[in-house]
Amino acid sequence: MTKTQRFNLGFAALVAAVTALAGTHAQAQGQTCGPRDVVVDRLANQFGETRRGLGLGSRNRVVEVFAADASGTWTITVTLPDGRTCLVASGDNWEDRADDLSHLQDADA
């Protein structure tokens, strides 16, 4: 398995975990969801966050990661098939990373 395939598998696992959490979180915290354009606009204007990555989770849910270079804030959202976008997690000290996995013996195998 190549390092790209490993990264993709790791990202897919993260997407699955976040999607599972989002189902419970969105039901318990209805006020954390809204129309996608409103949520994305608020993340951009209030926090300076832009989309850094996305993936498709179970049940056709789109998982996105937003982050800001200047402040280091980050937010994970899940957009449901009906168009609602829900905030799943947020924090500080975001760091863009593309770790070099070449030190693994089977990195290119």
pLDDT at 97: 82
Token digits for 13? 């696992």
41-62 tens-digit pLDDT = 999 999 999 999 999 999 999 9
pLDDT on residue 106: 61
Residues shown for the chain: 109
- pLDDT class of 76 with cuts at 50, 70, 90: very high
Is the pLDDT at 21 greater than 60? The verdict is no
Distances (CA, A) of 82 to 42, 57, 62, 78: 20, 14, 11, 11
